[in-house]
A and B are shown apart, each in its own frame.
Chain A
Amino acid sequence: MQTDQILMTFFAGVLFLGALGFFLGRNKAARARSGGVSMHSQPDQYAWFAVLTSAGPALIVAFLAAIVLGLFENAFPGWLAVAGSLGLGAFGLFVGLSRIRPELRARDSLERAVKWLLLAAASISILTTFGILFSILFEAIRFFQMESFWYFITGTNWAPGDAFLEAAGRAEATAGPSGNFGAVPLFAGTFMITAIAMLVAVPIGVSAAIYMAEYAPSRVRDAAKPVLEVLAGIPTVVYGFFAAITVAPLIVTAAESIGLEASFNNALAPGIVMGIMIIPFISSLSDDVISSVPTAMRQGSLALGTTRNETIRHVVLPAALPGIISATLLGVSRALGETMIVVMAAGLRPNLTGNPLEDMTTVTVNIVSSLTGDNEFDSAATLSAFALGLVLFVITLALNFASVVMIRRFREKYAVNDL
């Protein structure tokens, strides 16, 4: 049987069992109650109890079976899992119905089941984190079994294509002296584009936040917030197209007019556009932080005769600094992990340079290019994506935690609770 059909049969079966449990259970309870017996719970609660005892075990068994089938392919045929889980469900239905008596505390069982269900839902987010971590980690370990970790971190020659030739027995084709997976040029490119983005985003974002929090009349504020939200809501693929088709040619023309040579895949275009993308993140978080600096501090400062500029610069901003740094760190983490803009507008050539007008490539570009190529999944070229992903994961995780720590420091200092 096809997977779809197996799934369909299973869900239809579970639905049928559940419905059967519900109606039979309610009937039984309602009959008992109309007979004049005082019951612990409502008929509907007995009905849900029967649903729980029938569909519950079936779902749990099926879930376990799916995991086992994922681990060991063809451990047992799929229809066996369906038959087994539905059979158990039918048995559970029988047991559940026979347990429906006036003294059964169906409501309490229901309450417990709901709590477990909620806990299960909540643990999905934890499973996601570990899923990301382990799925990347395992493949990355396989990569580092093939290639040197040390060279990956410190080497400067990134040539996955040569690794392929080497594996094909044409080692003389390689140019690299000690390896083909030296990721330093990728880190450098990522760092350069991130730096350009932050040079655009931090001054504009923080200044806009200062204006919104300290100067703007409420009408301007109400108009400006949606504008920034629209900026934040533009999909990254759109920004990427814009960077590649509009901004990059503009930069090339501008560079030519002052006698410089720029590549059409220059780092400046994705950097600037990424900066614009990050402005709303920085401005909205900074705005919240600046607004929650206690008014008493502003009043105290103004009462001493300082101008508004001096109050903002010497009192408000230092107080809000942890929050602004936190926003900046989040922005950096976003810039490092941003994919579409660099895939569309930055280059593919690993290039170790300090000139933003040249083309350079990034970590995320190489994750995409190695997973969309024609390589075997087990080749080092493909697995390198996971090694790069691991680096990205570790760095963004560290930045996010640093950001959380900073914002907590701010919150505790000024007893602000709504940040």
Chain B
Amino acid sequence: MAQSLDDISRQLKKRHRRSARMKWLSMAALAAAGAFLVFFLVDMLVKGLPAFQQAYLHVEVDYSERASELPLAAVKADVRELVSRGYLRLIPNRMQKTPDLLGTQRMEWVLADDAVDQYLKGRKTGLKDKQITVVDRMAEAGNAELRFNTGFFTNGDSKLPEMAGLASAAIGSVLVLIVTMAFAFPVGVLTAVYLEEFASDNRFTRFLEININNLAAIPSILYGLLGLAIFINFFGAPRSSAVAGGLTLGLMTLPIIIITSQAALRAVPDSIRQGALAVGATRWQTVRDHVLPLSMPGMLTGSIIGMAQALGETAPLIIIGMIAYIPDAPTGFTDAATVLPAQIFTWAGMPESAYVERTAAGILVLLSVLISLNTLAVFLRKKFEHRW
């Protein structure tokens, strides 16, 4: 039986309603992803920002003969548990360096214990009631305050949360990235040049291409197993060293650099190559003097993105032992080192709430470095992008 026009237009309305619903649903999905990002960033800021401040106490320090033997004696008994043990431990050292201190007594701003720090930031701590009254009294008199936490950026890792900082991990990250890029950038660019400019389209070339795409999708932890077996067990690179870590990450970053460099080379029009070849340049001269300079911005962009990925990578580095406890900054490529994400991982496993705070702060630092790297890449792409 034929439908009436009313039926049809009703049906039509329903179809249009369904269409609108689909649009809103798909928009909601995108919004959900954005909402998650906002939630995540706010959560990290709330957790991490307090760590950029650190509690200090204004106490009387007594540089007596006894204090050089027994550092605890340098401060009065009521605040002994409240100042950082790490600070007290350094007192004999300081007294040796400046002998004038001996016998003097003076008021000093001293790094506070992490429990005091957390209490002043309004968290629950293991402080006893008596200690809390002392801290409250000091805070009222202006003798306990939160200051900018420079130690977080200048100290290495520490077993005392109030002393722990990012510096040695940051230096480790820089060393690792130097090795990574020194390996991956030349090899990646040369591979891309081979594939785009020199290789003929045969079975070997196709195998290479498939292989590179596949490498890009292999889980990063397997690169860690490779690094452990090849660089450390076979070639005897020192465990936990920047060389071993950097080369492992270099192999991992290689496919990204190859793929982006290939795209950059492909974007150079053939007329450039034809022009160079027509005046008698060889293939290599054409590539070196004309194609490579034109595609360099694209390659650099790709390398920065690859570098950002290597900077955030943790799993393969754990496998080759880069989560060791490293209080002092590494001085060379073969020293035991740790990197920023591995430092974050180590702190995340600590029970004290001061470490949770520092983990989030470390994440904020890492994210800002990554975002600036990516912004730099976008900026470079925009600035040097050449439409032929």
Contacts and interface: CB of A to CB of B under 8 A. Distances in A.
Contacts of A364: 219, 221, 315
B49 interface: no
B75 interface: no
A385 interface: yes
A377 to B, nearest CB: 8
Interface string B339-358: 00110110010000000100
Interface stretch (A145-153, A204-212, A256-264): A204-212
Interface residues of B, number: 89
A404 B226 contact: no
- Minimum-distance CB pairs A-B, first 8: A337-B219, A235-B312, A135-B229, A207-B29, A121-B190, A309-B19, A211-B26, A118-B194
B170 interface: no
Given A337-B222, A344-B345, A230 B37 contact: yes
Given A208-B33, A211-B23, A337 B319 contact: no
A241 B359 contact: yes
B376 interface: no
A238 B363 contact: yes
B211 A241 contact: no
A339 B220 contact: yes
Contacts of B79: none
Contacts of A230: 37, 371, 374
Contacts of B70: none
B218 A208 contact: no
Interface string A48-77: 000000000000000000100011010000
A227 B34 contact: yes
Given A231-B33, A310-B15, A122 B195 contact: yes
B344 A241 contact: yes
Given A338-B219, A339-B219, A339-B220, A135 B230 contact: yes
Contact of A227 (B21, B37, B211, B220): B37
A315 to B, nearest CB: 14
Given A131-B226, A245-B356, A276-B36, A340 B345 contact: yes
B81 to A, nearest CB: 28
B236 A367 contact: no
Interface of A: 3-4, 66, 70-71, 73, 107, 110-111, 114-115, 117-119, 121-122, 124-126, 128-129, 131-132, 135-136, 138-139, 203-205, 207-208, 210-212, 214-216, 224, 227-231, 233-238, 240-242, 244-246, 276, 279-280, 283, 307-310, 312-313, 330, 333-334, 336-340, 343-344, 364, 367-368, 371-372, 377, 385-386, 389, 392-393, 396-397, 400-401, 403-404
A111 B226 contact: no
Interface in B130-171: none
Contacts of B312: 233-238
Interface in B18-37: 18-19, 21-23, 25-30, 32-34, 36-37
Interface stretch (B87-95, B98-106, B107-115, B250-258): B250-258
A336 B222 CA distance: 12
B315 A368 contact: yes
B1 to A, nearest CB: 22
Contacts of B236: 3, 70, 73
Contact of B348 (A129, A241, A330, A377): A241
